[in-house]
């Protein structure tokens, strides 16, 4: 059996009055992410981790923000396309581990739904999808509520 790991990182700025999507789930928040797509920074980091494991570049390369095709797109569709690529290359996803840094709102009530949503797209059990959330103790751009950052790690195998 062959194994590969991948990691992904993404940042999006926050602005008032925009919808906030994280891990495929809409979060009740007065602010949301500025983006060409729906701004789901957690899914973007996860896509980059999968593409990293495949050594196929990044989502900006695959889905350029200069293209009208991806404007306002549901990031779950982008993730489905990346997972299809994983399968096309003969790999399957082993597990995923995601850490979201966001000052507000508290994400604890949404973690279960995010794990369910992502596990369905990844085609693996919820027990193989970890989503963790942290604040940055009011430090840095995350602490000032200017944006969020997300790290994702994945293992793929064949
Ligand atoms: Mg992004």
Instruction: Give the CATH number of the domain where residue 42 resides.
Output: 3.30.1330.50
> What H or E segment, with its residue span, contains residue 148?
strand 147-157
1 alpha carbon – ligand 1 mean position (Å): 32
78 alpha carbon – ligand 1 mean position (Å): 11
- Which spans in 55-95 are helix H? 59-62, 75-88
| 36 has pLDDT over 90 | no
Mean pLDDT value across the chain: 96
- Per DSSP, 144 falls in state T
| 67 has pLDDT over 80 | no
Rounded Cα distance between 99 and 102, Å, is: 10
Q: Which domain, by its residues, includes 126?
A: 3-157
44 alpha carbon – ligand 1 mean position (Å): 5
Rounded Cα distance between 43 and 22, Å, is: 7
11 alpha carbon – ligand 1 mean position (Å): 6
Task: Concatenate the DSSP letters of all residues of 9-61 into one string.
Answer: EEEEEEEETS-EEETTEEE--SEEE--SS---HHHHHHHHHHHHHHT---HHH
How much is the average pLDDT of 89-113? 98
110 alpha carbon – ligand 1 mean position (Å): 20
Domain count, the chain: 1
Tens-place pLDDT, residues 108-127: 999 999 999 999 999 999 99
Rounded Cα distance between 1 and 135, Å, is: 38
24 alpha carbon – ligand 1 mean position (Å): 13
pTM over 0.85: yes
């Amino acid at each position: 059996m062959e194994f590969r790991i991948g990691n992904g990182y993404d940042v999006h700025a926050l602005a008032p009055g925009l919808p906030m999507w994280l891990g495929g789930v809409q979060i009740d928040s007065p602010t949301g992410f500025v983006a060409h797509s729906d701004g789901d920074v957690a899914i973007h980091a996860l896509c980059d981790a999968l593409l990293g494991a495949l050594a196929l570049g990044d989502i900006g390369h695959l889905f350029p923000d200069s293209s009208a095709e991806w404007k306002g797109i549901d990031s779950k569709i982008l993730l489905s396309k990346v997972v299809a690529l994983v399968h096309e290359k003969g790999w399957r996803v082993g597990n995923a581990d995601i850490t979201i840094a966001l000052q507000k709102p508290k994400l604890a009530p949404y973690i279960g739904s995010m794990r369910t949503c992502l596990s369905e797209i990844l085609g693996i059990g919820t027990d193989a999808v970890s989503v963790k959330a942290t604040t940055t103790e009011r430090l840095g751009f995350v602490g000032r509520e200017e944006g969020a950052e997300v790290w994702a790690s994945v293992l793929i195998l064949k």
